[in-house]
Amino acid sequence: LAKTTQPISMDSYEGQEVNITCSHNNIATNDYITWYQQFPSQGPRFIIQGYKTKVTNEVASLFIPADRKSSTLSLPRVSLSDTAVYYCLVGLRFMDSNYQLIWGAGTKLIIKP
């Protein structure tokens, strides 16, 4: 069953760089990889999006290898306020050629002081 896979949880400390990887073996050829952040009792919020290589914005970087079967969200110098659940979202092409946008199950990131 084509799907996305992320670690269930991760811990880190303030000031560290955190990398969260999502695997997506069946990513559709022309689709983007998007990461969202979710705080408790809130809806997900867009963080970053990319198609290939590397994308950087004011809050994160996204690394995508040439085969695009995985992607890594990088959060530089995290703070306590980065404690949240992080989701990857990709378009996947299934065996029957059906296309769906699939959310990962989410990675719960806990930042410690």
Partner 1 sequence: NAGVTQTPKFRVLKTGQSMTLLCAQDMNHEYMYWYRQDPGMGLRLIHYSVGEGTTAKGEVPDGYNVSRLKKQNFLLGLESAAPSQTSVYFCASSYSSTGEERKYFGPGTRLTVT
**Per-residue contact flags (x/-) with partner 1 for residues 8 to 47, judged by CB under 8 A:** x-------------------x--xxxx------xxxxxx-
Looking at residue 5, the DSSP 8-state letter turns out to be: B
Look up residue 92 and give its amino acid.
L
Q: Cα 63 to the chain's mean position, in Å?
A: 10
Residues 45 to 64: which contact partner 1 by CB under 8 A?
Answer: 45-46, 49
Nearer to partner 1, 84 or 106 (CB): 106
* Interacting residues with partner 1 between 89 and 108 (CB under 8 A): 89-91, 100-101, 103-106
Rg (CA), the chain: 14
- Nearest CA to 8 out of 81, 86, 76 is that of 86
Q: Which residues bind partner 1 (CB under 8 A)?
A: 8, 28, 31-34, 41-46, 49, 87, 89-91, 100-101, 103-106
